[in-house]
Amino acid sequence: MGKVIGLTGGIGTGKSTVSNLLEVHGFKIVDADVASREAVEKGSEGLQQIKQVFGDKAIDQNGEMDRKYIGEIVFNDAKKRKELNQIVHPIVREIMDEQKEQYLSEGYNVIMDIPLLFENNLQDTVDETWLVYASESIQVERLMERNDLSQEEAKARVYSQISIDKKRRMADHVIDNRGTLLELKQNLEQLLMDEGYIQQADYNQEEE
């Protein structure tokens, strides 16, 4: 039976990059963001429920969820945000559990890629937690560059999550991503060797 690892980070820490690298090493990825999109895709039961709660304007001309419209409502209304989560979260969990069980039955180790793992208290749903770490100042810097945000906007996004240093204390393993991509790969491969997921020989072959 494979292992179930919860992979998380903070905004701008490089979690997606780590997820892609783990896929190369033979892990199967179950991505919460992908499942969230599936949960409300065109023609889905989830989208139908959203229409009932938020009205016809919730669906755009293409029959898809109007993310901007919904986003503006839930950002300003905690009650509506809760209603949206009550629709979406159970469906997302179902999609992710199904994928996880499928991969485990095939003998793979599974990465549950969950951005808000600690915020939503999901650490008990996985065997162990891995955190992709970068300091808050690096997070802000990367966000400003990536999303073309002001320093204030970038800080607001970073501070809307549990602080990365608190998450670091909560995680079972930390993957340091404060440096270059090459350093990130080396840090990740060191963890995989320490935990017995890859052998030194595999690592040497990749380097050749």
Please tell me whether residues 42 and 141 are part of one structural domain: no
pLDDT at 75: 79
pLDDT at 208: 47
Residue 134 sits in a domain whose CATH number is 3.40.50.300
> pTM of the full predicted structure?
0.86
Angle at 205 between CA 203 and CA 208, to 5 degrees: 115
Please tell me whether residues 166 and 178 are part of one structural domain: yes
Number of domains in the chain: 2
Which residue in this structure is represented by tokens 């400003």? Answer: 144
Give the span between the Cα atoms of 92 and 199, in whole angstroms.
35
Please tell me whether residues 123 and 203 are part of one structural domain: yes
Please tell me whether residues 61 and 80 are part of one structural domain: yes
Q: Give the domain extent around 170.
A: 1-27+109-208
Annotated binding-site ranges for ATP: 12-17
Q: Which of 105, 104, 99 is nearest to 38 (CA)?
A: 99
- pLDDT values of the chain reduced to their tens digit, one per residue, 208 residues: 789 999 999 999 999 999 999 999 999 999 999 999 999 999 999 999 999 999 999 999 999 999 999 988 987 888 998 999 999 999 999 999 999 999 999 999 999 999 999 998 999 999 999 999 999 999 999 999 999 999 999 998 898 889 999 999 999 999 999 999 999 999 999 999 999 998 765 555 555 4
Beta bridge partners of 30: 112
Tokens at 174, concatenated: 């930390």
Please tell me whether residues 199 and 113 are part of one structural domain: yes
Please tell me whether residues 124 and 205 are part of one structural domain: yes
pLDDT at 17: 95
Annotated binding-site ranges: 12-17
- Domain annotation covers residue 32: no
